Amino acid sequence: MFNEFDDYDIQTLAVRAGYEQTPEQENSEAIFPTSSFRYESAAQAAARFSGEEQGNVYSRFTNPTVRSFENRLAAMEGAEACVGTASGMSAILSTFMALCQAGDHIVSSQSVFGTTKVLFSKYLMKFGVEITFVSQTDVSEWRAAIKENTKALFLETPSNPLTEVANLEELSKLAKENDCLLVVDNCFCTPILQRPLEQGADIVIHSATKFLDGQGRAVGGAVLGNAQLVGEEVRGFLRTCGPSMSPFNAWIFLKGLETLPIRMRAHCENALALATWLGNHPKVEQVFYPGLTSHPQYELAQKQQSAGGGLVSFRVKGGKEQAWTVIDNTRMLSITANLGDVKTIITHPATTTHGRVSQEDRDKAGITDNLLRVSVGLESVEDIKKDLARGLDLI
């Protein structure tokens, strides 16, 4: 479908790909806030419902604005198919509900988003899908965990919040050798920094809520992959079970994609500067950022991502009290748990995003009480430093 854009750079795809202009000749993409679509005849209605004729039917599974978002993101990720979903979590749920059945086994990195762990270990398990959690970075643990009934390997890279980098090339090789799927949550990098399908992944998942929107306005998600797995099976789940993206939200994300390349560059530039500064601060024990040469997987990150990303985590000297002192002495930073916004956000993972994860699992994942995560926004990095320095100086 995107043959016309085959030769274009991702920066051009972000602005131009995937939109079908209406007869009104609008220059900015239109929104279609309609639940259903009209047919010219009873025969056409029947043909649309049976799938014999392509076209709009009902916005749970066919909406032109959602389709434009899906097609643009598909072009950017280099995917045959994309399905928009109501949230990032429903993108993960839809993928596994569509592709797994009772008796299947999933191997997941233990360093995935806290809510994803709850989804796997509480809800998917209830339906007879087995889960094993392994180290994000030790490929031999993944190899050892794979069983006869392993259907998929799941990870996000860099991980949240410790920015551990998983080796996509090795894990995709392992998945192929064992006839299972490699599913990658590409939320932190976006296709601007990393294109997992080109590195051997079978499915890419997004929380569009984060960098794709980029301005903290709407919740949404997406699943990308080939025409069969995603175009037929995941879309089939969505059509029947309904965690669909609304046209309004699709329009926000579609417009968000237009500025994604320049925003990601600016996020990365600010994040690298902030991480470097934190690394030299006397009250900071350790900094986690894949763009720093001190990161244990700096070389792997350099190879598989085009920059370090917008997330920086660090341990302050002390514990929860000292971490909270830094948060409570900020004046500008947003104290919230979202990420990927133009506004810089500060989070205490142990008591928020990972608060529902057991202490034992938190310890295993390195989510200590003195850890802070910063989603670096697009304000002046000097002002971001000033805001953090106030609390750090009090420790």
Binding footprint of ligand PLP on the chain (CB under 6 A): 87-89, 113, 116, 156, 160, 185, 187, 207, 209-210, 219, 221
Q: Which is nearer to ligand PLP, 65 or 116 (CB)?
A: 116
Q: Which is nearer to ligand PLP, 195 or 210 (CB)?
A: 210
Closest separation in Å from C-beta 85 to ligand PLP: 9
If one counts every other C-beta atom within 10 angstroms of the C-beta of residue 25, the result is 6
C-alpha to C-alpha distances, 359 to 351, 355, 356, 365, 367, nearest whole angstrom: 11, 9, 9, 10, 9
Q: Which is nearer to ligand PLP, 88 or 261 (CB)?
A: 88
Q: Which is nearer to ligand PLP, 116 or 244 (CB)?
A: 116
Closest separation in Å from C-beta 26 to ligand PLP: 29
Closest separation in Å from C-beta 135 to ligand PLP: 18
Q: Which is nearer to ligand PLP, 44 or 336 (CB)?
A: 336
Closest separation in Å from C-beta 24 to ligand PLP: 32
Closest separation in Å from C-beta 341 to ligand PLP: 12
Q: Which is nearer to ligand PLP, 200 or 243 (CB)?
A: 243
Q: Is residue 247 reached through a cis peptide bond, with omega within 30 degrees of 0 on the bond before it? A: no
* Cα(19)–Cα(67) distance, integer angstroms: 8
Q: Which is nearer to ligand PLP, 221 or 290 (CB)?
A: 221
* Cα(318)–Cα(316) distance, integer angstroms: 6
Closest separation in Å from C-beta 1 to ligand PLP: 26
Q: Which of 70, 138, 69 is nearest to 107 (CA)?
A: 138
Q: Which residue has 């306005």 as its token pair?
A: 217
Closest separation in Å from C-beta 205 to ligand PLP: 7
Structure-block tokens of residue 315: 């341990």
Closest separation in Å from C-beta 62 to ligand PLP: 22
* Alpha helices, H only, the chain: 10-16, 42-50, 64-77, 88-99, 114-118, 125-126, 139-145, 168-177, 190-193, 235-241, 247-279, 298-304, 320-328, 359-365, 381-392
List the end-to-end C-alpha distance of the chain, in Å, as a whole number: 57
Q: Which of 73, 70, 28 is nearest to 235 (CA)?
A: 70
* Cα(291)–Cα(276) distance, integer angstroms: 9
Q: Which of 251, 242, 191 is nearest to 217 (CA)?
A: 251
Q: Which is nearer to ligand PLP, 253 or 277 (CB)?
A: 253
* Cα(71)–Cα(79) distance, integer angstroms: 9
Q: Which of 264, 288, 260, 263 is nearest to 274 (CA)?
A: 288
Closest separation in Å from C-beta 113 to ligand PLP: 4
Closest separation in Å from C-beta 156 to ligand PLP: 5
* Cα(324)–Cα(349) distance, integer angstroms: 11
- Give the neighbor-by-neighbor strand order of the sheet with 221-225: 81-85, 221-225, 203-207, 181-185, 150-156, 105-109, 130-134
Q: Which is nearer to ligand PLP, 201 or 284 (CB)?
A: 201
* Cα(29)–Cα(20) distance, integer angstroms: 9
Q: Which is nearer to ligand PLP, 89 or 300 (CB)?
A: 89
